[in-house]
Amino acid sequence: MLNGKNILLGITGGIAAYKTTFLVRLFIKAGANIKIILTHSASSFVSPLTLATLSKNPVVSDFVKTEAHMTDWNNHVELGLWADLMIIAPATANTMSKMASGSCDNLLLAAYLSAKCPVYIAPAMDLDMYKHPSIKSSMEALVSYGNKIIPAKNGELASGLHGEGRMAEPEEIIAFIKNNIRSGLPLSGNKVLITAGPTYEAIDPVRFIGNHSSGLMGFELAKTAASLGAEVYLVTGPTHLSIQHDNIHVVDVVSAEDMYHSTKMYFETSDIVICAAAVADYRPKQVADQKIKKSDDTLTLELVKNTDILMSLGRQKTRQFLVGFALETENEVENATGKMKRKNLDAIVLNSMQDKGAGFGVPTNKISFIDTNSTITTFELKTKAEVAMDIFNEIIKRRHA
């Protein structure tokens, strides 16, 4: 959710500033890029050197870089425009009052007034200050400007009193921001089930029947769904790929039978289901307990049919939007459309083996998206990440139609 985001952290002069060292660590761990503006009073509570070391960026406080020539300055506009998110934590009563009134007497306030991104404010002050009408007025004004207030917590305060006004803990700040981002995304509140990769059908303890699927298309679909706010269950066959995301639950399977049972487990509560796995149609009827020794010039294996996962899901479908994949070599549209109707799908993604750069083992794909109205949307050759976004755009259009 925060991976790759540019985050501008403003730290003002309250005792809760010490918590920002932990907050910076959490942002870095989440994969964010972070720059910090420290007010002069805040530097009494937390060291610029510590923050610079943790953030891997210089910490700034003044418009003019005092160690350089007087014409060298910290550009507040650049800082404000660089940020994907701005967080002010702790936000003192003084700073919030200035933000509400448009006062601008330091670098942090100038960057705030220049920012075009969402701004999150984590107040911190003593309980009587937090309840004062002027603070309530400041917060109401800040919210009316589009800022997000991260509510202060009840607890022990620097004064020794116990009450509301304690800055939210770093973990709570991160969770608030993630939940806020997620709530504004098109798939927020939706559960998405995706199958990916090949299946391996055992012959003996050493050998198996498999295919060349890398799982990349399914993994890109999972990343895209999560980036759009969905909770994702990724059921994947054996692959070298890995994925880490707060909203993605990876379920590792090996065989088609494993995939069938895992998919069935999550299907009922899913809203969108995309079966992108290359599932083996057949498996050996008998699996040898020991490695089969080489003896004769030929080896005969009796194969039996695996459960058709997509068709079984189509039969169970109630409210789910179910999408399958079809990799064809001839009569592509006719065969894909027939598969969609036969398996009771809402849409099917067609790949043609005739298209260079599409199919297994490559980072690109060329697809046509076909729905039950026989509307065919064809896309140019793109990276699989771009293809995943195209697929979800088509799904979202049809679900909201």
Q: Which residues are catalytic?
A: 211
Residue 118 φ/ψ, nearest 5 degrees: -60, 140
In angstroms, the CA 93 to CA 97 distance is: 6
272 within 8 A of 230, measured Cβ to Cβ: yes
| Peptide bond connecting 118 to the previous residue in cis, omega within 30 degrees of 0 | no
Report the candidate in 56, 71, 44, 70 with the shortest Cα–Cα distance to residue 9.
Answer: 56
Q: What percentage of the chain's residues is helix, strand, coil (to nearest 5)?
A: 35, 25, 40
* Calpha distance 357→285 (Å, rounded): 35
Q: Which of 124, 132, 126 is nearest to 149 (CA)?
A: 124
The SS3 of residue 176 is helix
Element (H, E) at 11: strand 6-11
Tell me how far apart the alpha carbons of residues 249 and 196 are, in angstroms, rounded to a whole number.
13
Greatest Cα pair distance in the chain:
91
CA distances from 397 to 41, 265, 350, 393 (A): 51, 27, 18, 6
Q: How many residues belong to the chain?
A: 401
- Listed residue (10, 113, 111, 120) closest to 55, CA to CA: 10
> Rounded CA gap, 321 and 399, in Å?
8
Work out the number of other CB atoms within 10 angstroms of the CB of residue 163.
Answer: 17
Please tell me the distance from the alpha carbon of residue 131 to that of residue 375, in angstroms, as a whole number: 59
Q: How many C-beta atoms lie closer than 10 Å to residue 360's C-beta? A: 16
Measuring CA to CA, which residue among 282, 293, 278 is closest to residue 207?
Answer: 293
